[in-house]
């Protein structure tokens, strides 16, 4: 059977930023399945990136069988809109891959543009049941295909004794509420003076400056490390120095970093927003607290320190075993080969 040619539109900036994206991971896995994959765009400038996406569509539209479009709720939403209009002009099937916990708000805010993108799609793919249900209820043909991990490369560490050593792996952006992580550390220090926090990730909207200002106000400079972006294997290695993974988002979907933490044996303490409650089973495979409730998060961390994490982390690892590519690939193969 002739190899299907897939054009993948999204953020292809891994070589420039070092920050892995779904496009980077999924395109390589699809190639291993025999698909031919062309990616766009690797341009840093936003306007040039948009123009490059349209150019790549024009260049490859005759030979492309299907187009995947990473779709978010902010500026990328407009990329998705313009690309989808171009693809409809050429009568090419496209599949939006839905990212970001703010997409439900975008559906309400931009109903006409949303209908234009999602109603005319071949199908929409959501990585969580949370977004799948919302899009189906909005009248859009949607299926759930989870994010994937090459689980074999994730070394599980059994942490028999939990220390107050916290790890945050996320962009510095207001929607992810990184200041809450600092406040959690401050409260935790009242009982555990040696508590530490490592914050890994890029500054996305200028939030890093205000986070560092808060660190200074709370006199936590000696207790916090900011690493910037780390390659996946580097932060995985660094995670062995820490005992609790915290996620402080106000808005979210199905964060890959949480899935990775569960695979690595890090007990997860997270806010219960968006699709996270479909991933983490409270007090079974992790701990969930309300957004912006640092006291509840501190109490969950204390519970881990006092009672250990073995049952939670073993259950979490078993949960994310279901994200193996050997399982997920069948859904992608069936979908793409059926077009």
Task: Give tens-digit pLDDT for 167-202.
Answer: 999 999 999 999 999 999 999 999 999 999 999 999
Question: Is residue 231 scored above 90 in pLDDT?
Answer: no
Q: What is the mean pLDDT of residues 267-280?
A: 95
Per-residue pLDDT at 42 exceeds 90:
no
Residues 130 and 167 in one domain: no
Strands of the sheet with 94-98, listed across from one edge: 36-40, 5-9, 66-71, 94-98, 124-126, 142-144
Calpha distance 266→310 (Å, rounded): 10
Tokens found for residue 68: 């995947």
Q: How far is CA 29 from CA 26, 149, 326, in A?
A: 5, 10, 10
* Domain shared by 171 and 313, yes or no: yes
* Beta-strand pair 124-126/224-228: unpaired
Burial of 1 (0-12, 13-18, 19+ CB in 10 A): exposed
pLDDT at 23 over 90: no
Same domain, residue pair 191 and 310: yes
Domain count, the chain: 2
What average pLDDT does this structure show over 240-269?
Answer: 95
Query: Is residue 299 located within the same domain as residue 272?
Result: yes
Q: Are residues 143 and 206 in the same domain?
A: no
Positive or negative: CA dihedral 260, 180, 77, 273? positive
> Do 247 and 101 lie in a common domain?
no
Region of 118 please: left (phi>0), alpha (psi -120 to 50) or beta: alpha
Residue 288, pLDDT score: 98
Give the domain range for residue 14. 5-148+324-337
> What confidence score (pLDDT) does residue 1 get?
55
Does residue 60 share a domain with residue 92?
A: yes
Q: 144 to each of 90, 109, 120, 134, how far by Cα in Å?
A: 27, 23, 18, 11
pLDDT for 20 beyond 70: no
Q: What is the value of pTM for the model shown? A: 0.88
Query: Which residues are CB-neighbours of 116 under 8 A, at least 6 positions away?
Result: 81, 84, 85
Question: Are 283 and 328 contained in the same domain?
Answer: no
User: What integer is the mean pLDDT of 73-90?
Assistant: 94
Within 8 A by CB and 6+ apart from 17, the residues are 202, 229
Q: By C-alpha distance, which of 150, 155, 170, 159 is closest to 264?
A: 155
If asked whether residues 51 and 139 sit together in one domain, one would say yes
pLDDT at 18 over 60: no
Q: What residues form DSSP beta bridges with 271?
A: 289
pLDDT band at 220 (very low <50, low <70, confident <90, very high): very high
106-138: per-residue pLDDT in tens? 999 999 999 999 999 999 999 999 999 999 999
Residue 153's pLDDT is 87
The backbone torsions φ and ψ at residue 324, rounded to the nearest 5 degrees and listed phi first, read -55, 140
Residues in CB range of 135: below 8 A, 6 or more apart = 98, 107, 118, 124, 126, 142
Both tokens assigned to 336: 């793409």
Residues 158 and 277 in one domain: yes
* CATH number for the domain harbouring residue 275: 3.40.50.2000
144/175 same-domain check: no
Q: Check whether residue 136 and residue 189 sit in a common domain.
A: no
């Amino acid at each position: 059977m002739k190899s299907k040619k897939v054009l993948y539109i999204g953020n292809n900036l891994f070589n420039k930023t070092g920050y892995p994206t779904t496009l980077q991971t999924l395109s390589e896995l699809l190639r291993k399945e025999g698909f031919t994959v062309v990616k766009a765009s690797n341009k840093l400038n936003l306007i040039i990136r948009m123009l490059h996406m349209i150019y790549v569509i024009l260049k490859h539209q005759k030979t492309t069988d299907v187009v995947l479009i990473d779709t978010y709720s902010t500026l990328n939403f407009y990329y998705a809109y313009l690309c989808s209009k171009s693809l409809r002009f050429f009568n090419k099937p496209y599949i939006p891959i839905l990212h970001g916990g703010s997409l439900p708000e975008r559906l309400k805010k931009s109903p006409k543009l949303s209908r234009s993108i999602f109603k005319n799609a071949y199908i929409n793919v959501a990585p969580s049941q949370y977004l799948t249900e919302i899009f189906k209820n909005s009248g859009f043909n949607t299926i759930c295909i989870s994010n994937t991990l090459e689980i074999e490369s994730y070394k599980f560490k059994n942490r028999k004794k939990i220390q107050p050593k916290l790890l945050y792996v996320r962009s510095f952006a207001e929607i992810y509420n990184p200041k809450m992580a600092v406040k959690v550390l401050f409260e935790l220090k009242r009982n555990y003076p040696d508590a530490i926090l490592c914050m890994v990730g890029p500054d996305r909207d200028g939030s890093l400056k205000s986070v560092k200002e808060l660190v200074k106000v709370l006199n936590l400079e000696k207790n916090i490390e900011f690493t910037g972006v780390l390659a996946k294997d580097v932060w995985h290695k660094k995670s062995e120095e820490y005992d609790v993974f915290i996620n402080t988002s106000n808005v979210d979907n199905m964060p890959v970093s949480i899935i990775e933490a569960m695979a690595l044996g890090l007990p997860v303490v997270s806010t219960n927003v968006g699709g996270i409650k479909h991933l983490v089973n409270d007090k079974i495979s992790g701990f969930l607290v309300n957004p912006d409730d640092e006291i509840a998060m501190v109490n969950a961390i204390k519970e881990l320190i006092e009672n250990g994490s073995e049952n939670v982390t073993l259950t979490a690892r078993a949960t994310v075993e279901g994200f193996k590519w050997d399982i997920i690939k069948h859904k992608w193969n069936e979908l793409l080969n059926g077009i």
